[in-house]
Amino acid sequence: MHQYIVMRTGYLILTLFIASVFTFCVVNAIPGEPAEVLAKHLFLGLEESAPPELIAEVSARYDLNKPLIEQYSEWIRGILSGNLGNSIIYNKSVGKLLELYLPPTILLTSFAMTFAIITGIALGIASALHQNKTADHLIRFITIFSISMPSFWVAVMLILIFSLWLNLTPVAGYGEPKYIILPLIALGLHSMASIARIMRTSMLDTMEKPFIIFSKAKGLSRKKILFSHAFKNAFLPVLTVIGMSFGSLLAGSVIIETIFTWPGIGALLMKAISARDLVVIESTIMVIVFMFLIVNFVIDILYHVIDPRITYE
């Protein structure tokens, strides 16, 4: 087990390295000269055209004319020494920016994930237990709908219904608890639906297993069969889906935070991309990748805790 954790940590570092190379390349491959976009953002406004002297000056000041490999190694060296770099447009260190923007994102994603897991599991089990009855059809309709609709559309619809028509929640913002309701639903709905669907399938599959029939023959109550035997066995595939949907949840947070003006790293990333604040883009993506890897690392350990057959030798 300890050996496994060491090995996994090695893989984690390797994945982070590959992700950093990839991120760096993609960020620099975005069409439009970074220096030009930056110059407009900093001094002119996006509709103006930047004079060549200004572009050259911006380029020189922020080391944008250095070879890419040098820019990359400088960035990585900074990260290794604990310095994530400096934002050009915010005039702050990226570390300072994350200190401000990361907590709201962690708050939102953990609430959205909790919502997705609890409702997903509950709906999945309810659906399986009422297989092919009205409740099942209704739940399957809801989940198919939630999976198919893009989250930005869901977000806008939620605002329209709950904020504008029913006047129950604020449109957007951050601060009091009521502000989190709509963003967490908009963000978690897709994951909730994937979890519910896999929970249903897995539960139905498990209920047919010989050990469930034997549990019945043993005279166990239905409640006991469901919760002591069926649920635990049916949960393993759900755990995999939870890990994967955490990825799409983080990706979704970029759009959802922008729509609801939620001051998280998703919104930060969005702004940084439009201003070509390169270091902020790169470092923020690395933080997101890191969060995803850590969650999946924890899930791999959980597998072992739940299923004794899985050993990490």
Q: Which residues bind to another protein, rule: CB under 8 A?
A: 209-211, 213-220, 224, 228-229, 232-233, 306-309
**Least distance in Å: CB of 81 to another protein?**
46
In the bound state with another protein, the residue whose beta carbon lies nearer, of 220 and 270, is: 220
User: With contact defined as beta carbons under 8 Å apart, do 126 and 204 qualify?
Assistant: no
Residue with Cβ nearer another protein (77 or 216): 216
**Measured from the CB atom, is 145 or 214 closer to another protein?**
214
Alpha-carbon distance 124 to 303, whole Å? 20
DSSP 8-state class, residue 66:
S
Q: Is residue 79 classed exposed, middle or buried when 0-12, 13-18 and 19+ CB atoms within 10 A define those classes? A: middle
Q: Which is nearer to another protein, 92 or 209 (CB)?
A: 209
Distance CA 139, CA 126 (A): 8
Q: What contacts 107, CB < 8 A, 6 or more positions away?
A: 180
Alpha-helical (H) ranges within the chain are 2-29, 34-39, 52-61, 68-80, 94-129, 134-148, 151-158, 181-207, 210-217, 222-224, 231-259, 265-275, 278-306
Cβ distance to another protein smaller for residue 161 or 213:
213
**At closest approach, how far in Å is the CB of 42 from another protein?**
59
Residue whose CB is less far from another protein, 11 or 214: 214
Shortest spacing between CB 127 and another protein, in angstroms: 20
Q: For residues 266 and 283, what is the distance between their CA atoms, to the nearest angstrom?
A: 12
Output the CA–CA distances (angstroms, integers) from residue 218 to 140, 207, 221, 224, in the order listed.
33, 15, 9, 11
Residue with tokens 């984690």: 12
Nearer to another protein, 209 or 271 (CB): 209
Q: How far is the CB of 304 from another protein (least distance, A)?
A: 12
Please state the closest distance from residue 133 (CB atom) to another protein, in A: 15
CB of 208 to another protein, least distance (A): 10
The candidate with the shortest Cα–Cα distance to 125, out of 222, 198, 229, is 198
- Quick one: which of 147, 136, 237, 129 has its CA closest to 194? 147
Is 169 or 206 the residue whose CB approaches another protein more closely?
206
The CB-of-239 to another protein minimum distance in angstroms stands at 13
Burial class (CB in 10 A: 0-12, 13-18, 19+), 68: exposed
CB of 219 to another protein, least distance (A): 2
